[in-house]
């Protein structure tokens, strides 16, 4: 029997112990090259969390100097001014092929149209009987423009455009620089089309710290957004409270939930589309047929043969696998339990299955709606909850860039009617100053 990269397990119990067992991303062993770089930089071996803590403290004390030192050290980039000039961004448009520029514009337009519509269905201000709320966008958002070796203009668009639709006044981007100190032109084009107003050469934990504290060059923001590597994720975790964060994003993951009606070649293609992102990605097939699982495994091997990022994709495929469920009910239950970032439904009646899904970052319903369309041009932001956080979290939306303020504007009649209850409760809690605040008002009326 041919060996396959896509391991196949049968039954829910075996799946929970293997394919559907994520483990803790934060506990993952750093690659040898990264560990060597850490030891050389800091003079001793450190964990990822310790590295981030040191960087944050250095940026707090030194500002720009620490941001530049660490960014250039880890990116291998030449010295360059911290802020990207508008002339550099103008020039980037002439460096991008016309057909690719058209594709980025098309993507930005689609994502913008969706999020403008989404804003209309988001929280709305109201006042009723003196009580209500007002809705305000945050004033300044920081966008982490992820990607260095792999350029990801789509992430810039999918992170920044919802901020524009929400009405954020100022959007600041931070990005890794290339070896010559420049920023990839495709990233700069995407930043302008997405509505990012200022772009700075800063990456990793040092960029997040700069956005949280503010430096001589980089303005302090209210909240930071966007996915990144483990150092970016840990920086968000450690800086939360100093600055708002959207979420903690781990490696990408996709579940393809299929029955024996699904095309094995399309299931394999969808798994590999996510696998090629990152060796730590987790592509999973949940199917109701062992024969279908084997057919998909064969297709995965065939398609891996000529994939440009084949080594990365193979490593990710080996982290994931195929689960053979007893029936569709068990398949749906396992998918809900795993709560994946992306859940692709390729069954005989995908709409009926969708009605039973409780936990997923994004649902991709039917063979005409592959997850890759969501990555680029479908419309909703592709920044989605990972690591099972879809049990309680949502994809990035305009709501993440908004905040509400409760309003209380009661009349004297209201005060007389409800005040005595407040005073009684305050005295029961031993808060006589609270009670007096009400009682003085009631005595004077």
- Indicate which residues carry an active-site annotation: 341-342
The burial of 412, by beta-carbon neighbours within 10 Å (0-12 exposed, 13-18 middle, 19 or more buried), is given as exposed
Nearest to 282 by CA among 9, 12, 1, 23: 23
**Phi-psi group of 214: left, alpha or beta (phi > 0 → left; psi -120 to 50 → alpha; rest → beta):** left
- Please, are residues 336 and 314 in contact by the beta-carbon 8 Å criterion? no
**To 10 degrees, the CA torsion angle through 197, 199, 205, 209?**
-60
Cβ atoms of 131 and 408 within 8 Å: the answer is yes
For 299-344, give the DSSP string: HHHHHHTT-TTHHHHHHHHHHSEEEE-SSHHHHHHHHHHH--SEEE
Instruction: Return the closest-CA partner of residue 106 out of 378, 397, 396, 382.
Output: 378
Residue 241 exposure: Cα atoms within 13 Å on the Cβ side: 2
Query: Do 48 and 30 touch, CB atoms closer than 8 A?
Result: yes
Please check whether residue 81 is in contact with residue 350, taking contact to mean a CB–CB distance below 8 angstroms.
no
Instruction: Determine how many CB atoms are found less than 10 A away from the CB of residue 2.
Output: 7
Give the length of the chain.
Answer: 445
CA angle 217, 223, 227 (to 5 degrees): 95
Sheet containing 244-245: give its strands across: 198-201, 170-175, 140-145, 223-225, 244-245
Are the CB atoms for 316 and 290 separated by under 8 Å?
no
Distance from chain centroid for Cα 107: 18
């Amino acid at each position: 029997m041919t060996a396959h990269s896509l391991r196949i397990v049968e039954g829910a119990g075996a799946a929970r112990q293997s394919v559907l067992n994520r483990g803790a991303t934060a506990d993952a062993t750093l690659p040898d090259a990264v560990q060597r770089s850490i030891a050389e930089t800091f003079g001793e071996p450190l964990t990822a969390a310790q590295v981030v803590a040191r960087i944050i403290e250095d940026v707090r004390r030194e500002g720009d100097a620490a941001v530049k030192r660490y960014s250039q050290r880890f990116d291998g980039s030449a010295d360059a001014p911290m802020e990207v000039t508008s002339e550099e961004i103008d020039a980037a448009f002439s460096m991008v092929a016309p057909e690719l520029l058209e594709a980025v514009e098309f993507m930005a337009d689609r994502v913008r149209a969706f999020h403008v519509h989404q804003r209309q269905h988001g929280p709305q201000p109201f006042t009723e009987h003196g009580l209500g709320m007002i809705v305000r966008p945050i004033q300044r958002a920081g966008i982490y423009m992820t990607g260095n070796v792999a350029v990801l203009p789509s992430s810039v668009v999918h992170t920044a455009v919802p901020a524009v639709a929400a009405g954020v006044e100022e959007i600041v981007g931070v990005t890794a620089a290339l070896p010559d100190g420049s920023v990839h032109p495709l990233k700069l084009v995407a930043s302008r089309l997405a509505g990012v107003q200022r772009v700075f050469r800063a990456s990793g934990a040092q960029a997040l710290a700069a956005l949280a504290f503010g430096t001589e060059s980089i303005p302090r923001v209210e909240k930071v957004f966007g996915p990144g590597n483990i150092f970016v994720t840990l920086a968000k975790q450690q800086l939360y409270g100093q600055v708002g964060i959207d979420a903690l994003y781990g490696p990408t993951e996709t579940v393809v939930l299929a029955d024996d009606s699904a095309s094995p070649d399309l299931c394999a293609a969808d798994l590999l589309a996510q696998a090629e992102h990152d060796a730590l990605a987790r592509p999973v097939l949940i199917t109701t047929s062992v024969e279908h699982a084997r057919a998909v495994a064969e297709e995965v091997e065939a398609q891996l043969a000529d994939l440009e990022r084949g080594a990365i994709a193979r490593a990710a495929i080996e982290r994931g696998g195929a689960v053979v469920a007893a029936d569709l009910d068990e398949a749906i239950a396992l998918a809900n339990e795993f709560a994946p970032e992306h859940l692709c439904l390729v069954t005989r009646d995908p709409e009926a299955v969708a009605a039973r899904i409780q936990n997923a970052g994004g649902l991709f319903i039917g063979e005409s709606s592959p997850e890759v369309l969501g990555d680029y041009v479908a419309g909703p932001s592709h920044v989605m909850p990972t690591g099972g956080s879809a049990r309680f979290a949502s994809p990035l939306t305009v709501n993440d860039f908004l905040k509400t303020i409760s309003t209380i504007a009661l009349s004297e009649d209201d005060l007389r009617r409800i005040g005595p209850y407040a005073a009684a409760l305050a005295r029961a809690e031993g808060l006589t100053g609270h009670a007096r605040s009400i009682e003085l008002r009631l005595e004077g009326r």
